[in-house]
Structure 1
Amino acid sequence: MMQSPIIYALGLLLSVLSSPVAARQTLWEPVADKVFLQEKSEQVPTATAVTQVAIVGKRSFAVLDGKLQELKEGALQPVPNSPAGISKVEVFASDLWVIASSGLYRYAKNSWEKLSDDAFVDVCLHLGKVHAATRDVVYVHEMGKLTNIEPEGGYLSSDVTMLMEDGTQLLADPVKLGPVTAIASYSGTLHILRPGKLVQLSGKVVNEHLIDWGNLPSKNTHDLLSLGSRLFVSTDRGLGVLRGASLQQIKGEDGLPVEDTRELAKGFDRDVWIGTTRGAIRMQEDDWHYFGADHWLPDEQVNDIAVGENEVLIGTQGGLGIIRYEPFTLRKKSDHYEQWLDKYGHKRMGFIHTLYQYEGDWVREISDNDGAHTATYLSAMSYKYAVTGEEAARQEAVNSFQAMLWLERITPIDGLIARSIWSRKGDRGAMGQRGSGGLPAKWNATADSLWYWKGDASSDEIIAHFYSVALFHDLAAKGKEKELANEHMRRIAGYIMENGWVLIDADGQPTRWGRWNPEYLLRPYGWSDRGVNGLEALAFTYSTYALTGEERFKKGYEQLVDWGYAENTVKQKNTFPPSQIAPWDDNLAFEAYNTLLRYEKNPRLRSFYLRSLERTFEIKRMEKIPWFNFTYAAMTGNDADLEAAVQHLREWTLDCTEHNFFNSHRDDLFVEAGYTSYEGGLKAISPRETTVMRGARRAIVLDGGRNSTLIMEPTGFIRDYWMGRHYGLIQAPETTDPGLLEVDNGSGEGLGAKPYDGPERPDFLK
């Protein structure tokens, strides 16, 4: 039955009032879920290089094998009567101006017109007229023909030593324009790029002394682009930017991702697009977007760029890259990822799975951490229900909650959980043969032989259960669901405590990483884990006490405090040596922070946990990952770089396939001002420039990917967005336009893994 609006509103109010920040003033300002332009990628691979591209209205063109082709229905098709040997294509008004080996052409209204047999190098629009340059001569196109603009008597020099009193010049050799490599109109004046030198055609004078201050970054120059107050020059060591008579430089230290720049194109929103030998770059007034090979482009060598209305064509050595921009809100983006989970088959009996390729098909990975991966989605749907009151979100949460219950109920011991569950009759692919820390996998058959469950559970799974189930209990559970949530936590926490703070597996032996006992954590072997494991133990015992009221869990919690576990949490985050830095531990720690700080009110103990969170967040802050920033803001009320964290969500890619990414070659690998790298990271890489990752993601990983053979579940985004909404860190979108709140629900046929068709999971609510 749908919850009544009044009851839902009261529940939401109680949830907000009971939140950790409700009773104190917050120092953060909520961030608006404003409309932004979201990139979408498409590629058209080709056997040979795409050397030139152009956009005319809604038509897209490319040069392949020296001839003009048009993009139709995702494929390049030859344009009839195209000249051969095309080296340059530019668009003026609605006409294509084409430089070919046989001369200069204009393509208009599907018809070719040859204008000259000469060998041209560049064309531009100057004072409203098309100008075309050969190596030595510049022509203007007027009245249907080309006219040499050189004045009678030739060009004059800007060298004052050649100037006579009457204004004439006596020169031993005539002044020449060339050798011309590119031309552009800037500040009402024609500018000419020679190899390594910029000159200006001021009336009759070839001004070689136009620059009063500065130099080009390199003599290896390539392209010119005039844009407002600036004239850009691409070189192999950065960009030269002419402003008036000052030539400035933009290099890696200024934020330019790749200094070896080649092609330049005007963008659609006061931006500049740059083609390089290692990808494409979008330069905005205060930001840089880097688009590399695999995810965005067929090849890293960019030969040309053309920009239309919210669309960019990028010609590369391996084909055509297309980047389209569509208005989105974060709410719409979350809806995209929710539909992705369904269409690609990431869901199975309430569990959430990564997909991988197996014998030519996509199959679900039955992993080491199915509970932990499902916990992220369970928390996401719990947050969403708390914000929206949508019963559909609550039912998603209930379904995943039952999957979490099953991981404990399937084992023969109350309180022992499985890592994952394999169906003998319904699952495809291969059962993983590797277990925790490289040990052999521990698969156990059920009595009816329908299922196998994977043993040797670790601390990862334990804290994920408590974090997500406690959150579900507080935000989404009703009636018997709350009872089952309490019982689930009671059984697991009780089992661990009864066994001396160790998780005992079905074989009677401790699991490798399921250890929270002082004999491990307060001895040399487990010393590096004493902070994070101690934080987990404190979180799961106190949260169980808070929800069940059973004194044994309070006593267990107090025993941990007496052992010094609370103090040890302060420096739980390892930063050195590198071998001790485990990124997944950050995820576990923040699940524990989210759990423990929601319930613990004792000021003395909270001081330890808050100091721990302060220290850990300062280390993670440079990565701008919402999961860390939102947790810190929600649990402390302090400022947490929310604008940067929300921007991080906007920069997630819509495609969840794990394409390869490469950033270690970049020239902008520096830590931004205002941040400090405590873990040795060179730069926080935007998710646009990496790939979709789960909760243990790190923004300082430069290279990676899985050759496009794995599809990651995008639950991290869904969880972080609705978490932000729940705590008021992200405001609801102001727009009511359905097209900006939801994506079109297509059929999704043929995508991802086939539906699961094996025996069903038990229903624990019956």
Structure 2
Amino acid sequence: MKLILKACIILIILSNTAIAQRLYNTSEKLWKPQKDEAFLQEIATTIPTNEPVVSVAETNETCFALMSGNIYALKSGKLNKDNSAPAGVTELKNKNGDIWALTDNGIFRFQNDRWKKIDDKKYVDLCMHAGKLHAATSEEIYRLEGDRFVTTKPENGYYSSNMTMLMEDGTQLHDDPVRLGPISKIESYSGTLYVLRPGKLVLFDGLIVNEDFIDWGLLPSKNTRDMLSFGRRLFISTDRGMGVLQGAALKTIKGEEGLPVENTTCLERGFDQDIWIGTERGAVRMLKDEWHYFGADMWLPDNKVNDIAVGNNVVYIATEGGLGVINFEPFTLQKKADFFERHLEEWGHKRLGFIHTVYQKDGEWVREISDNDGGHTAPYLAAMCYKYAVTGDPEARKEAVESFNAMLFLEKVSPIDGFFARSIWSTTGDKDEMGRHGSGGLPAKWYKTADGKWYWKGDTSSDEVTAHFYSVSLFHDLVAKGKEKEMAKQHLEKIAAYIIDCGYTLHDMDGKPTRWGRWDPEYLLRPYGYVDRGVNGLEALTFMQTAYNLTNNKKFDDSYNQLIKWGYAANTIRQKNVFPPENLAPWDDNLAFESYYTLLRYEENPALRSTYLRSLERTWEVKRMEHISWFNFAYGAITGNDCDLEQSIKHLREWHLEPIEYNFRNSHRDDLFVEPGYTSYEGGLKAISPREKNITRGSRNAVALDGGQNGRRIMEPTGFIRDYWMARYHGFLEAPETNDPELTSVKRRTEQQFGAEPYKGLEKPVFY
């Protein structure tokens, strides 16, 4: 019986894979499928404090933090004062597995769960050198022997590197003693001790204080802060970038080389051949070929980083406003998609089959009845279509059907066939009020149903129509069965017919075109609507071709040909506006790609396909520099061409797991340069990683540097879920090779309420 069931599942998956191959007849694929390999996903916890955390150290999975001279231990997410620790501490250090506390009147070691004073001197820094712990005062370096520090100062004093002081027998005579200090930091590099003075790097070989060992280069600034030895390099943090000693050459790392913030404060070795850099504006992780930036409020309680400690796959960041903790947990992209699916359930994003943003109202999380409930639901409907086509999972099909019925509800709630609502408000179950604003800040248009149970929002625009054709056509092609297929066809047929009957506009209840429901030549081919002629023309062509393909009704074919006669097809070539700045609308890019993805599934005429593909090629070339997976996957699926697939998968891995919209800032960064090999046609300074900004919808803008909602809004992460299953469906991404559920899924949490309470109002009607 088990073998039969297994065979049936395989047949379902193979069957649906065959459907995937029929969506686009690309004879050659110039990309190689990527593996969904395990990676380390960052997960942030912030612990705000009333006082600055000035130093931090970690040992045996215990973190110690320093505030106002007192030591605190981190336990269960809270900082608890260690009353057994010394007071008046100035800095914490982890050396050779022990925690050391530096004070003005001595140094203490934490070992075997107790603090012990080792020496009375005031030490400024520690390092391991030649297998021994070395400690520095402001003028001298000592070596730990047992429980006692012994000086490394030569009996007859230090020698100078000044050759004029060298006698023939190798001795030196000094009028004034040679100083090793003033010492601020010490470090062991390439078997030698190095001393960092304020603004000066010195080599100390045990006898000679060498100030003349650098053959090439200078420090980027005299304002030096910290020093770290890592392999063949010695790093020095300054307020104008990092100095890097390699052999006898002193080089500089600045924004041009990828350093996000040049005003650096501290350095710490990471856990995976990486280096952590504290700055005045956040923390930076430096890997071999890339840089990761972590700022407040998303990752840290404050931007000014005072110190960093690293444990096993965890980083502790001491800031002026508290302690930031970043854990690195093994994930696959499939696990991340499952994490976000769980989030939708736990945080109350779902209602009546729609997907909603959640926001804070009077201290309570509530679902937003938006200006575009259908458009915000469409990515999730598409995601579940892809997921069902890939896996045959009945739960995915159930979710797809539920969201499809929500899309139907938007049309059924209106008394006019083919005219559908932006959103629907329940008189019994919704805590959010009916929005007062409509398109472009115009007054909202709300209508009450005949039975008085619902209100629905009119003034429907091109955004919603495009979303319906994109997602419902996918449902028709990949999921729908029996009556569902007929309902999907009828839904799109009625909308397309109403647009034609209204003269290629969308009439509201007053019989007049809605603000943005315009595809007529009187609008698009005249100055008033000229800026929209490309994208709106592309949309109109998509509506008519899709309706004709699904119904074979000549009315839609005739309308499609009429649009072509008006020049709409030719106008699509330059549909993507790149100037002036006020004409750049990232949501239009989303509408364009939803249209390309739908239209080019159905258009078979070689001449017209050539025109639309030229449009797609031009548009994608503009969007390439942003590395957004949705645009890349759509382009690759349609054309079979190389679509920057490696960057797309990297983009998905860099999504953080926090859909709460905290404030983020990147405009201050020193690395705002377009990546080599790409061109910014729209004037964007840099493609900002998803790690470094808020989660956004399909109309993403990777060049937006700043933003946020003060943590008072929670964005639905449907974009990731759609992009992941789209990649799996089209073969861009392979299934994880592991069967370990800890790497492919997350456990459901049934007894916790995180966001908006579950919807308890009227249920939507049944339509078939």
Pick which of 501-510 and 101-110 moved more: 101-110
1:247 to partner: Cα distance: 1.0
Whether 1:659 and 2:659 are equivalent positions in the alignment is no
The answer as to 2:28 corresponding to 1:12 is no
Question: Retained in 2: the 8 A contact 1:196–1:219?
Answer: yes
Choose the corresponding residue for 2:415, options 402, 412, 420. Answer: 412
**Structure 2 residue aligned with 1:354:** 357
Q: Which stretches of structure 1, 4 residues or more, deviate above 3 A after TM superposition?
A: 1-7
For residue 337 of structure 1, the aligned residue among 320, 337, 340 is 340
Q: Out of 649, 652, 673, which is 1:649 matched to?
A: 652
Which of 84, 88, 98 aligns to 1:85? It is: 88
Larger deviation, residues 405-414 vs 50-59: 50-59
**1:700 maps onto 2:708 in alignment:** no
Q: Which residue of 2 aligns with 1:669?
A: 672
Correspondence for 2:32 among 13, 29, 38: 29
Amino acid paired to 1:691: N
Does the Cα contact within 8 Å between 1:237 and 1:251 map onto a contact in 2? yes
The alignment's TM-score, normalised by the length of structure 2, stands at 0.98
Cα distance in structure 2, aligned partners of 1:154 and 1:6: 80
What amino acid is aligned across from residue 130 of structure 2 in structure 1? L
Once the 2 structures are TM-superposed, how far is the Cα of residue 13 of structure 1 from its aligned partner? 4.0
Shift of residue 246, structure 1, vs aligned partner = 1.2
Report the counterpart of residue 72 of structure 1 in structure 2: 75
One-letter code of the match for 1:210?
F
Q: Which residue of 1 aligns with 2:131?
A: 128
Report the equivalent of 2:265.
262
Q: 1:81-137 CA deviation, whole Å, 9 max, x = no partner?
A: 322222211112331111012221111122221122222111111111111111111
Mapped to 1, the partners of 2:235 and 2:265 lie a distance apart of 11
**1:52-71 matched pairs, under 5 angstroms:** 52-71=55-74
- Contact 1:84–1:102 (Cα < 8 Å) also in 2: no
Which residue in 2 is equivalent to 1:376? 379
Provide the rounded CA distance (Å) in 2 between the counterparts of 1:326 and 1:698.
Answer: 27
On the 8 A contact 1:105/1:116 being kept in 2, the answer is yes
Q: What's 2:681 paired with?
A: 678
Judge conservation of contact 2:194–2:204 (CA < 8 Å) in 1.
yes
Using the TM superposition, name which of 29-38 and 698-707 deviates more.
Answer: 29-38
Partner of 2:427 in structure 1?
424
Alignment correspondent of 1:549: 552
The amino acid that maps onto 1:298 is: P
Partner residue of 1:238?
241
Q: What are the Cα deviations for residues 551-590 of structure 1, in whole angstroms up to 9, with x where unaligned?
A: 1111111111111100000000001111111110000000
Partners of 1:123 and 1:131 within 8 A in 2: yes
- Return the letter of the residue paired with 2:700: R
- Residue 629 of structure 1 corresponds to which residue in structure 2? 632
1:755 aligns with 2:752: no
Structure 1 unmatched ranges of 5 or more = none
- CA distance in structure 1 between the aligned counterparts of 2:413 and 2:307, rounded to whole angstroms: 58
Q: Residue type matched to 1:5 in 2?
A: I
Classify the secondary structure of the residue corresponding to 2:541.
Answer: helix
Tell whether 2:186 aligns with 1:183: yes
Aligned partner (choices 173, 196, 199) of residue 193 of structure 1: 196
Aligned match of 1:299: 302
Structure 2 match to 1:480? 483
| Aligned: 1:140 with 2:177 | no
Q: Deviations over 1:256-277 (max 9, x none)?
A: 0000001100000000000000
Equivalent AA in structure 1 for residue 536 of structure 2: N
After TM superposition, the structure 1 stretch with the greater mean CA deviation from structure 2, 62-71 or 75-84, is 75-84
The 2-side partners of 1:629 and 1:590 are apart by 10
Give the deviation of 1:2 after TM superposition. 12
Distance in 2 (alpha carbons) for counterparts of 1:43 and 1:85: 25
Give the counterpart letter for 1:694 in structure 2: R
Task: Let me know the Cα RMSD of the aligned residues.
Answer: 1.2
Q: Alpha-carbon deviation of 1:3?
A: 11
- Counterpart in the other structure of 1:619: 622
Deviations 1:607-632 (A, max 9, x none): 11000000000000000000110011
Which structure 2 segments of 5+ residues have no match? none
1:460-471 pair list within 5 angstroms:
460-471=463-474
Paired residue type of 2:503: G
| Deviation of 1:23 (Å) | 4.1
Aligned AA (2:35): A
| 3-state SS in 1 of match to 2:65 | strand
The 2-side partners of 1:491 and 1:285 are apart by 56
1:306 alignment partner AA: A
| Counterpart Cα distance in 2 of 1:716 and 1:43 | 26
Residues in 2 aligned to 1:66 and 1:267: alpha-carbon distance in whole angstroms: 26
Q: Is the 8 A contact 2:95 2:126 kept in 1?
A: no
Mapped to 2, the partners of 1:8 and 1:532 lie a distance apart of 38
SS at match of 2:124: strand
Q: Summarize the Cα distance change of 1:632–1:110 in structure 2 as closer, same or farther, 3 Å threshold.
A: same
Measure the CA separation in 2 of the matches of 1:95 and 1:507. 77
- C-alpha change, 1:430 and 1:101, in structure 2 (3 Å) is farther
- Please give the alpha-carbon distance, in whole angstroms, between the structure 2 residues aligned to 1:694 and 1:3: 38
CA contact (8 A) 1:54 1:61 kept: yes
TM-score scaled by length of structure 1? 0.98
Q: Would the aligned equivalents of 1:467 and 1:592 in 2 still touch at CA under 8 Å? A: yes
Q: Quick one: distance in 1 between partners of 2:245 and 2:97?
A: 29
Between 522-531 and 94-103, the greater mean CA deviation after superposition: 94-103
2:731 is matched with 728
1:18 maps to amino acid? R
CA distance in 2, matches of 1:262, 1:529: 49
1:279-299 CA distance string (max 9 Å, x none): 000000101000001110000
Work out whether residues 17 and 389 of structure 2, in 8 Å CA contact, stay in contact via their aligned partners in 1.
no
Q: 1:248: which partner in 2?
A: 251
Tell me if the contact between 2:13 and 2:391 (Cα under 8 Å) persists in the aligned partners.
Answer: no
Q: Which string of whole-angstrom CA distances, capped at 9 and with x for unpartnered residues, describes residues 716-742 of structure 1?
A: 000011111111111111111111100
Contact 1:344 1:748 survives alignment (8 Å): no
Matches within 5 A, 1:280-299: 280-299=283-302
Contact map agreement 2:659 2:717 (CA 8 A) in 1: yes
Distance in 2, matches of 1:6 and 1:210, equals: 68
Q: Deviation at 1:200?
A: 0.8
Q: Alignment partner for residue 219 of structure 1, among 213, 219, 222? A: 222
Q: Do the aligned residues in 2 keep the contact of 1:543 with 1:599 (CA within 8 Å)?
A: yes
**In the comparison of the two structures, how many residue pairs are matched?**
764
Q: Are the aligned partners of 1:293 and 1:300 in contact in 2 as well (CA < 8 Å)?
A: yes
1: CA distance, partners of 2:159 / 2:254:
35
Which residue, 364, 367, 376 being the options, matches 1:364? 367
Cα gap change, 1:184/1:324 in structure 2, threshold over 3 Å: closer, same or farther? Answer: same
- Output the CA distance in 2 between the equivalents of 1:332 and 1:13: 22
Contact 2:230 2:269 in 1 (8 A): yes
Structure 2: which amino acid aligns with 1:644? Q
Contact kept, 8 Å, 2:153 with 2:206, in 1: the verdict is no
- In the other structure, the counterpart of 2:393 is 390
Q: Find the residue that maps to 1:40 and give its secondary structure.
A: strand
Quote the offset at 1:19 in angstroms: 2.7
Q: Equivalent residue of 2:486, what SS? A: helix
Q: Secondary structure at the match of 1:622?
A: helix
CA-to-aligned-CA distance 1:358-398 (integer Å, 9 cap, x gap) = 11100000000100000110001001111111111011000
